[in-house]
Structure 1
Amino acid sequence: MAKKVVFIDTVHPVLWDRLSAAGYNCIDATELKKEECVTQVTDATGLVIRSRFPMDEAFLKHATELSFIARSGAGMENIDISYCEKRGIHLHNAPEGNRNAVAEHALGMLLSLFNHLKKGDLEIRKGIWDREGNRGIELDGKTVGIIGYGNNGAAFAKKLRGFDVEVLAYDKYKTGFGDAFVKESSMEEIQAKADVLSLHIPQNEETKFWVDTAFINAFAKAFYLINLSRGKIVRTSALRKALNEGQILGACLDVLEFEKASFENIFSSDMPDDFKFLLESDKVLLSPHVGGWTHESYFKLSDVLADKILGEG
């Protein structure tokens, strides 16, 4: 009997095609409600997910034959990892698939913020020709601090090689990665030297709201913040305070504290004041959690997952 894989979220069809060719029975549950998915997973060998709903014990206990969960993306915070470890359920993610997209997006946001590209474009469209008000600053000569030197952090460092910048990187769980282009550093050195700080770490109990007022005030210089990791790593009230006081000069945010499982529902009538501040601030550049979501990465995410699933057998 063919092993059953239930696709709970929509991903690039290459994953379906490659698993089907290998003899798996692929089931499309992308349009089913959560309760309906429960009936589909009872005899499933694998699940393919993104972020539609949490993979918690209450849901996974119904999947008694489950061998693996494949997450199209890098973050695993919507999966009960400890429960899966107890059950022996293998977890696959695909940070290799979107690391280049994240790195290019981070660099694009930073250069756009430095050169007021959004502001200048909007003003010209309104008939305003303000050269002095849109005078930019250069990345050249700056010190860029990267926290988290996994797939995404390393890819961002690689993109910075064409600029005359000093790149410092800190990773609590990794050593020995320094080379001619990046200096392996301590958190203290980054806080002493960074002009730009880029976050590339997962969201977990340790990192949730890690970037708060105390964290920000530990930096010797005012700096620019880039966050393409997870929104709840940065406490927005602390970011708002730092922007108002000049400790943070500007922020590039692809992710927000206020995101919900279905990202489109982030806007509501009871929008928090801190979120309204971000929307109105010309010191903040926003994008809708698409840093790793290019046409190329959409394919690569699924292709990487197929490699991992089929390689495991």
Structure 2
Amino acid sequence: MASAARDIVQRPKGPSRTVSSSLGSSSSPTATFHPTLPHSRRASPKQLKPFATEDIKILLLENVNQTGRDILARQGYQVEFFKTSLPEDQLIEKIRDVHVIGIRSKTKLTANVLQEAKSLIVIGCFCIGTNQVDLDYAAKHGIPVFNSPFSNSRSVAELVVGEIIGLARQLYDRSNEMHKGTWNKVSNKCWEIRGKVLGIIGYGHIGSQLSVLAESMGMQVIFYDVVNLMALGTARQVPVLTDLLRDADFVTCHVPELPETENMIGPREFEQMKNGSYLINASRGSVVDIPALIDAMRTGKLAGAALDVFPSEPAGNGDYFVNNLNSWAEGLRNLNNIILTPHIGGSTEEAQSAIGIEVAESLMRYVNEGATLGAVNFPEVNLRSLTLDEPNHVRVIYIHRNIPGVLRKVNAILGDHNVDKQVTDSRGEVAYLMADISNVNQSEIKDLFESLEALSCKFRD
């Protein structure tokens, strides 16, 4: 009878593919959750219902941190790991039979790729951004996407502090000269950062942490954001971007990649900045018009700049930052007092470990329980885990179109059973229902699945 439940779980399509049985030795990936935090941090949990975790296939790309890999492997899942991203043709071949995929920023999960992922139930982005995934396509095919929006905030903020000091003192030019054998001891146009004005564009998790660090070093902080936010310390929000550009000695960008932020800093904005000011971009490569930045550096409008992100970035390490990738690459590399780094803002051991834990546990909770808390493209729904103290239970997860009358139809199907717990939520066109039913025998599970599958409100290819 356990095999019947497994067949229900692993149906590749249809909103009810995760109907879960908790009868004895359940084979459902939504029936259990094995906490990974030390017992000292939480009470000892009840024993939860086992299921055939070895049936879950996971593909991890781009050198996902060992902490995340270990969490998933300890669950008993089949975990395949690659240090790099894969070309699209290889990615399509690999993704066809996996249930979970974990990526970082280089792998592009487009509609063209996702339409081949016939068994995929969830995506994990082991990074902040999710613009590398077609979130709308994923949502409409019942695939939630999880990320780690906060875990590397401190690492990025610390990098920016280092770059502010490095630019103010021309450290990187002096270091490069020394490596070439040139001794060039100068103080001209080298500054302390104490008393200087830092302008932060985007006062989110990174911007606000940077604000505290900069103020502790004696800087005055102003920030611009599209929403009104409470300032930390003595930082001050300015009403328009022009005010920030006019007053800041250092301007740093911490905004998401959106149509509104594309080329947010371009020729007009550079003209509005102070003569001899500095620009730092550790957000997204599309935010700064780089040819305009090059012009501003060459004319002396900017005294320095630091870029950690670029409009087009190589898929792997190597000698790829050339004009074939971005037509202005050589001109950018030849500028003085400019720091160029290969998207390493969050690349610290601490940040990558924290990201690995956060995303892996989100994936695990979804596979084991169906919990969608923290999903970026999906309704957020959660129920407590089923335990061995609750025999003959089944968890029903139903992903459907958010249209009138669906709940009435679903509850008509569930109405012949004892529904212990039920929760539902919607986000745009996607609705998500989770229900735990007691006193269900194995012969009824297939009937539940087929009845839900027959409803016209499910998402279809």
Percent identical residues:
27
Matched, 1:4 2:57: yes
Native 8 Å contact 2:157 2:206 kept in 1: yes
Who wins on radius of gyration, i.e. which is larger?
Answer: 2
Contact map agreement 1:115 1:134 (CA 8 A) in 2? no
Q: Which residue of 2 aligns with 1:74?
A: 128
C-alpha distance 254-189 of structure 1, shift in aligned 2 (>3 A)? same
Residues 120-140 of structure 1: per-residue CA shift (max 9 Å, x gap):
233345554433356621111
Relative to the length of structure 1, the TM-score reads 0.88
Residue number among 209, 212, 237 corresponding to 1:184 in the alignment:
237
Q: In the superposition, relative to structure 1, how do residues 141 and 33 fare at CA in structure 2: closer, same or farther (>3 Å)?
A: closer
* Cα distance in 2 between the residues matched to 1:114 and 1:84: 45
For 1:242, the equivalent position in structure 2 comes to 296
2:314 aligns with 260
Using a 3 Å threshold, how does the CA distance of structure 1 residues 269 and 209 change in structure 2: closer, same or farther?
closer
Q: CA-to-partner distance for each residue in 1:135-173, whole Å, 9 max, x for gaps?
A: 62111111111112222222222321322222122222x
- Alpha carbons of structure 1 residues 124 and 17: separation in structure 2 relative to 1, 3 Å: closer
Question: SS of the residue aligned with 2:332?
Answer: helix
Which of 21, 32, 37 is the matching residue for 2:74?
21
* Matched residue SS, 1:78: coil
Task: Name the aligned partner's letter for residue 290 of structure 1.
Answer: I
Stretches of structure 2 that go unaligned for 5 or more consecutive residues are: 1-51, 370-461
Partner of 2:99 in structure 1? 45
Cα deviation for residue 33 of structure 1 reads 5.3
Separation in structure 1 between the aligned mates of residue 348 and residue 130 of structure 2, nearest angstrom:
20
Distance between the aligned counterparts of 2:235 and 2:99, measured in 1?
Answer: 42
Consecutive unaligned residues in structure 1, runs of 5 or more: none
Aligned to 1:250, the other structure's residue is in SS state strand
Given that residues 91 and 113 in structure 2 are in contact (C-alpha distance below 8 angstroms), is that contact kept between their aligned partners in structure 1?
no
Q: More deviation in 231-240 or 31-40?
A: 31-40
Please say if residues 161 and 210 of structure 2, whose CA atoms lie closer than 8 Å, have aligned partners that are also in contact. yes
| Aligned partners of 1:194 and 1:223 also within 8 Å | yes
Structure 1: 4+ residue segments shifted above 6 A = none
User: Which residue identity is paired with 1:27?
Assistant: E
Aligned with 1:99 (options 153, 166, 191): 153
The number of residues matched between the two structures is: 312
1:278 aligns with 2:341: no
The separation in 2 between residues aligned to 1:108 and 1:154, in whole angstroms, is: 16
CA distances 1:255-309 after superposition (whole Å, capped 9, x unpaired): 2334233353633465766322221111312222212111222212201212333
Measure the CA separation in 1 of the matches of 2:314 and 2:75.
Answer: 35
In 1, the alpha carbon distance for the partners of 2:167 and 2:315 equals: 28
**Contact preservation (8 Å) 2:314, 2:321:** no
